[in-house]
Amino acid sequence: MSGKLYALSTGPGAADLITVRAARILGSLDVVYAPARRKGGDSLALSIVREYLGEQTEVRCRHFPMSADGAEKEAAWDGVAAELAAEVGAGKRVGFITLGDAMLFSTWVFLLRRIGTPPWLEIVPGVTSFAAIAARAQTPLAMEQQSLAVVSCTAPEAEIAQALRQHDSLVLMKLYGRLARIKTLLREAGLLDRALLMADATLPTEQCWPRLSEIEDDRPLPYFSTILVNKQWGYEK
């Protein structure tokens, strides 16, 4: 098979945080697939990489539903995975772009499960959102013997509470719509003033709260909001 598929990580948001390797590959693609949260909606990943695409590159946006309907999501993943394989089978250089790093809380991994690990696949890593947040906030993710946990806020409360007890440093992702619940858990763990929240890191709309206690429980937050906790680091501003 002469075609090639690249899973390309676009980084946290700023176009100049994409890797040199990803930028080079993007310029050589025949077709690029971009995920969209809504049917007919814009793709943030596409807006990040657009300046790197060649004139010959065809763009295909595909909607991946975020509902609780498992059958609907499975059908979307099956359909796009089949499309990608068919494009490669036709001898094309194909890219699938995804925010942050392709192997972390990414739509791509559901496609990977269906595609497998053929020789015509390459996955290009990228800067994670929490790496960017740590840099922007000038806050270390982990130091010396510290343990670091990356936790989804969709996990059961007992599991999040256990992680808060067991680890020295934590990244709490998928915060959208769950701020009050997470604040309660942090308060119970005595970590509310050790928690930093950043939304839309590296984008023009970036917002940062050095202390979570400063944010009202019912405050609407952007979809891309993440909390960092480091028990041995203060957020003095």
* 3 state SS of 205: coil
* 3 state SS of 131: helix
What residue type is assigned to position 147 of the chain?
S
Per-residue pLDDT tens digits of the chain, which is 237 residues long: 689 999 999 999 999 999 999 999 999 999 999 998 766 667 899 999 999 999 999 999 998 877 666 788 899 899 999 999 999 999 999 999 999 999 999 999 999 999 999 999 999 999 999 999 999 999 999 999 999 999 999 999 999 999 999 999 999 999 999 999 999 999 999 999 899 999 999 999 999 999 888 899 888 999 999 999 999 886 454
Domains defined along the chain, listed by start: 4-127 (3.40.1010.10), 130-230 (3.30.950.10)
Query: DSSP assignment, residue 235?
Result: -
* 3 state SS of 226: strand
